[in-house]
Structure 1
Amino acid sequence: MSKPSNDLERKLMLAADNPANRPEFYKALMASDVYVIGFTDSEGEEIRTIPTGDKLSIVSWEKNDGTPIIPFFTSLEALQRALKEESKYVALPAKSFFEMTLGSFLMLNPASSYGKEFFPDEIHALLETGVNHAPQTRVVQKETKVLLGQPANYPSEMVSALTSLLAKHSAVKAAYLCLMQDPSSSEKPSLVVGFDGDKDLAEAMKEAGSVAADTAPKGDAVDFVVLKKGESGVSNYMLKSVKPFYERTWGAKLRSLFSPGKV
């Protein structure tokens, strides 16, 4: 790709090169207009507000295996790179586009150096959470004995990406990693990331879930827990026996204290 045409393309390039930047890209995408090949009942191109009652016809393509896929683009320049002949196009909010194509396979910026295929479950997650992965909450119904230890095959890519991401979240004081196995279950052991913080960790954990989904070793489940001092089990093991893979620096804490809105 040549020089990015807008901020969304810049963030797409950063996200492709570093998984830690992907939540920021998804946030920008959901707040942006995108371009699609198609037309409405109204005259003209570059329609940003589709009149009520107008029908939008969107062009779909086929992948090599015959699967239909709908292309969309971050800019008019990206759209023009993908066309071999003159075509009509429409610009509309990404959120509206995702809602009207829900259930379809989508491809961002085909024919460009940087692009991404979106699967239907990712679009559901984007509309629901703002990132491409919707976490599942599990509640332990009864006291369960588990085995805790360190993974033999350390998930270096995931840990590196999470470290870069968490540096952007001042709420996170430290993050820890372990492997958990329930002897009574036939399921594989899961990786567990523990978050220690002094503020609301919901946003940081949501974005971390998206990053972990993209970078965890294939086939490995990843669980997140909020660590609480004085609790037994995972919290006690991590806080007392495991060295954190991420720790907030004093510089980051000071930047948080003196950021706009702080008193």
Structure 2
Amino acid sequence: MWGCKMYNKSLEITLEELLEKAFEQVTYRPQFLQQLLDSYIYILGTSAESISEHIEHTLKEGSEVQIKQWQKKDGTFFFPFFTSLERLQKTIRNNENYLRINTRSFFELTFGSHVVLNPYSEIGKEFLPAEIAGLLNGDFGLRPDAEELSIDPNTQLSHPSPYPINMVEQIKILLQVNHAVSFAYLAQVMDEKHATKSSLVIGLQLSQVLTEHEKQQLYRQVKQTATDSLLQKKTVELVFVDANDQTALGQYLLHQTQPFYLRQDDKKKGFFATLFN
């Protein structure tokens, strides 16, 4: 459903630039969401300190706040928030109290409600409660290893058909700036009991040891890019595999498919190994 004022002006510009890029290319959406979550944004509302003044206030931890809601034409309500003061001022007609708040804190305060970033702007985004919950949790249903994605006897692994070219290209763009991934594999998973339904599974083979937080962040970025760039929507799973993987899924990805992504350094090593070994 793609439609904070930061302490440093250049960082604010970066956030707005990322938002624009996120509209144009799904590869930038995970990066934008991560930066948004760590940023400060503007909201319409009052706190105990600002109740009688039409000036900017930055909320501190423990502050009591009343946040203003807007109403859509269909009668539903939402909380507006803005990436910059300029965008807020372009949207409101009269002088109104506004506050600067960390996005994560804003999401927590409005949890369960619909919120809209830069409403009535050329670049904005509506966030639904389930999406906000995922952002706050940060894991998006993380499955770190292939063994945790069960493959029962009725499951058939195969080459994806039709092949999701757009999704693959977007993931390759994302992985080109992440040097932790050496290979990326793709397979189609189909339950023979439900032959009309299929899902995709992406396997990532890492070139270095990552912390759980780093794996979590990588998982989120690849999973969201894959989901957003699929032209024919279906379930996408993501697992981490290694050269010694003995699971049925790991064995299939490593030995019966060709990687759709191969890090450039690994390509060079393979070339020179062929020449000199």
Give the deviation of 1:171 after TM superposition: 1.2
- Note if 1:175 corresponds to 2:184: yes
- Note if 1:209 corresponds to 2:209: no
Q: Deviations over 1:93-127 (max 9, x none)?
A: 11111110000101101132211110111111111
Contact 1:135 1:209 in 2 (8 A): no
Q: Hey, what's the Cα distance between the residues in 2 that align with 1:20 and 1:91? A: 28
Please name the residue that 1:149 is paired with. Answer: 158
Q: Hey, what's the Cα distance between the residues in 2 that align with 1:238 and 1:84? A: 57
Identity among equivalent pairs (%): 32
Give the AA of the match of 2:186: L
Q: Deviations over 1:190-241 (max 9, x none)?
A: 1111111222344322211122232234541111122233535232332233
Q: Hey, what's the Cα distance between the residues in 2 that align with 1:164 and 1:251? A: 17
Please name the residue that 2:39 is paired with. Answer: 32
Give the AA of the match of 2:48: D
Give the number of aligned pairs. 248
Q: What TM-score do the two structures reach when normalised by structure 2? A: 0.79
Q: What TM-score do the two structures reach when normalised by structure 1? A: 0.83
* Distance change (3 Å), C-alpha of 1:202 and 1:120: closer
Q: Deviations over 1:62-113 (max 9, x none)?
A: 2232221111000000101111222111111111111100001011011322
Q: Hey, what's the Cα distance between the residues in 2 that align with 1:253 and 1:65? A: 58
* Distance change (3 Å), C-alpha of 1:252 and 1:13: farther
Q: Hey, what's the Cα distance between the residues in 2 that align with 1:236 and 1:192? A: 13
Query: Of residues 74, 85, 88 in structure 2, which corresponds to 1:65?
Result: 74
Contact 1:190 1:221 in 2 (8 A): yes
Q: Hey, what's the Cα distance between the residues in 1 that align with 2:98 and 2:234? A: 42
Q: CA RMSD in A?
A: 2.8
Query: Superposed, which structure 2 residues align to 1:80-229 within 5 Å?
Result: 80-129=89-138, 134-135=140-141, 137=143, 139=148, 144-184=153-193, 188-199=197-208, 200=210, 201-229=215-243
Q: Hey, what's the Cα distance between the residues in 2 that align with 1:142 and 1:10? A: 42
* Distance change (3 Å), C-alpha of 1:202 and 1:49: closer
24-33 or 219-228: bigger deviation:
219-228
Give the AA of the match of 2:226: A
SS of 1:203's equivalent in the other structure is helix
* Distance change (3 Å), C-alpha of 1:251 and 1:12: farther
The 4+ residue runs of structure 1 with deviation greater than 4 A are: 140-143, 184-187, 251-254
Hey, which of these two has a bigger chunk of helix by percent? 2
Q: Hey, what's the Cα distance between the residues in 2 that align with 1:207 and 1:141? A: 23
Contact 1:229 1:236 in 2 (8 A): no
* Distance change (3 Å), C-alpha of 1:196 and 1:5: closer
Please name the residue that 1:246 is paired with. Answer: 261
* Distance change (3 Å), C-alpha of 1:171 and 1:253: farther
Please name the residue that 1:259 is paired with. Answer: none
SS of 1:6's equivalent in the other structure is helix
